[in-house]
Chain A
Amino acid sequence: MDAAELEIIDADRPAPVSLNFKRGGAWCRYYLLPLVVPALILLAWELLSRRGFIRPTILPAPSAIWLTFKDMAISGELFGHLKTSLVRVFQGFFLGAGLGIAAGILIGLSPTVERALVLVTGLLRPIPIIAWVPVLILWMGIDESSKVTVIAIGSFWPVLLSVIHGIRNTDRKYLEVARVLEKSRLVLLTKVVLPSALPSIFTGLRIGIGIAWMSVIGAELIAASSGIGYMIMYARELSQPDVMLVGVVSIGITGLVIDFALRKVESRLLKWNVNICG
């Protein structure tokens, strides 16, 4: 929906708790301030490296890492590994989150299903994802399917819990409105329960994709023949700290971009939710 339509009667609306972007000072503080601290850290790191306080074989200077990054970006090596890892993440995440949503709806709506599964979920949930890696390699080998499964397990739990939580927290007042209007169970689910659970579900999806991204790296570090995790392990064997750090930093940046994208989708989908800004 465009802004004009939304601003019909903004006079009645409480002022959002965000900063006023029209004022230049606030704009600077919002967009530039987050960049200051990283810039200072990089500067100090670079200076200390040049003065010889940091050994380049342990921690190369930012400029050296940047050069390696450029070389690897141009040769396509970095993006090749990145793409492999990302494809695994998306496959695993869609599988895990899809199952999480489906199971969450079933458990959230039916106390019987919840009771029947209470021990199974209680026992499986605390198992660290990494503990599954050797087991899954035994079952599926070291190629794609074992990685995808690890990621699916990792993203399944937060999504499952957030869906159950969201469904349970549906305001009884809205359920009553639907009862008065004689709505069917399907309409109740799609028009009332799920929309009201959506903010909670999104929180679960964001945590889930974060875990998915961590799981793929974990799985690749243990056993793989491609992917960012594999690249880091291989660089360690060849004593290439700059390559390792390029890998580590790319993981962070990719995670940031994914979360940012998901937040954009969220604020678009949940524009009715007054608690979300931007």
Chain B
Amino acid sequence: MAYEEARPLTISRLGKQYHIDGGKVQALTEVNLEVGSGEFISIVGASGCGKSTLLRLIGGLEQISQGEIVLGDEPIRGPKVDRGMVFQEARLLPWLTVQQNITFGCRSGLPKAERERLVTEHIALVGLNGFEKAFPHQLSGGMQQRASIARALVNRPKVLLLDEPFGALDAFTRIQMQQEILRIWELEKTTMILVTHDIDEAIFLGDRVVVMSSRPGTIKKIVPVALPRPRDRSSYDFVQIRKDIYSEFFGEQQKPFAYAI
């Protein structure tokens, strides 16, 4: 089945502040970003830079303070099934089986046969055949995250938002899941926005890597990754890009250390 035509996502002059104990905390300021349809965007930043807030604003889980986010030609006002979301914890409902959880992901109003077909299709997509009747606590962390990805994709969203989805997995499973998400992306051509603190992961997956700074939380730099996939993490170009991004974070701190020697 064809997707609804994917349209670009435009973020313009976005700002977000929180009120804490009477004071204001500016989490994001002046964020401008255009995401093409079918593009894979990675967002990296230190903790507290507002990268998760940005993702939650796109998801509609938080109220926008300034600026706007437009998906296609519709400004985002709240959560909607055209934006799927995968969280760091799989957040599967523990009382439902894998199959029931993915069915729970379906938008309401779908005919039963259509729903069943979509669910079966997406269980196969994430490679969970044979585990339909398992409860979440019977699955490993990686498998739970697969189920969670299937639940988010079952509505065929225009954009899939991934909030540090592999952050809680062990190193081996993480690399395996990165390849999985790449495979799914190439198959489904969904626009993906991935928030991570793992620079390697960001370069391995993204068409572009958005580097964010903290205080104020805003976009510091956008690094295009013009490398063919599958990418080799130890290739010269990959390492150069990694150095580039590292210096964005640690460049200033290394110099005085060097002088001290």
**Which A positions have Cβ atoms within 8 angstroms of B?**
1, 5-6, 8-10, 12-13, 173-174, 176-177, 179-184, 187, 191-192, 195-196, 198, 270-274
List the B side residues contacting A177 at CB < 8 Å: 85, 87, 91, 93
* Partner of B131 from A8, A270, A272 at Cβ < 8 Å: A8
The minimal Cβ–Cβ distance linking B46 to chain A, given in whole angstroms, is: 24
List the B side residues contacting A273 at CB < 8 Å: 94-95
A195 touches B95 (CB 8 A): yes
A9 touches B139 (CB 8 A): yes
| Interface residue? B140 (CB, 8 A) | yes
| Interface residue? B233 (CB, 8 A) | no
Known contacts being A173-B91, A180-B85, is A12 close to B139, with CB within 8 Å?
yes
* Partner of B138 from A8, A180, A181, A270 at Cβ < 8 Å: A8
| Interface residue? B137 (CB, 8 A) | yes
Per DSSP, chain B at the interface is loop
Q: Kindly report which residue of chain B lies nearest to residue A7, judged by CB atoms.
A: B138
Most chain B CB within 10 A, of A10, A13, A196, is at A13
Known: A12-B140, A182-B107, A191-B93. 4 other contacts (CB 8 A): A8-B133, A180-B83, A181-B155, A198-B95
Interface size on B, residues (CB 8 A): 32
B130 touches A13 (CB 8 A): no
B94 touches A272 (CB 8 A): yes
| Interface residue? B185 (CB, 8 A) | no
List the A side residues contacting B94 at CB < 8 Å: 272-274
| Interface residue? B249 (CB, 8 A) | no
Q: Kindly report which residue of chain B lies nearest to residue A273, judged by CB atoms.
A: B94
How far is B101's CA from A272's CA once the two chains are assembled, in angstroms?
13
Most chain B CB within 10 A, of A13, A180, A181, A195, is at A180
The minimal Cβ–Cβ distance linking B97 to chain A, given in whole angstroms, is: 8
How far is B96's CA from A270's CA once the two chains are assembled, in angstroms?
11
How far is B96's CA from A273's CA once the two chains are assembled, in angstroms?
11
Known contacts being A173-B89, A184-B108, is A6 close to B138, with CB within 8 Å?
yes
List the B side residues contacting A192 at CB < 8 Å: 93
B87 touches A173 (CB 8 A): yes
A274 touches B137 (CB 8 A): yes
Known contacts being A8-B138, A174-B91, is A180 close to B108, with CB within 8 Å?
no
List the B side residues contacting A5 at CB < 8 Å: 133
Known contacts being A177-B91, A181-B81, is A272 close to B104, with CB within 8 Å?
no
* Partner of A195 from B80, B89, B93 at Cβ < 8 Å: B93
How far is B80's CA from A63's CA once the two chains are assembled, in angstroms?
72
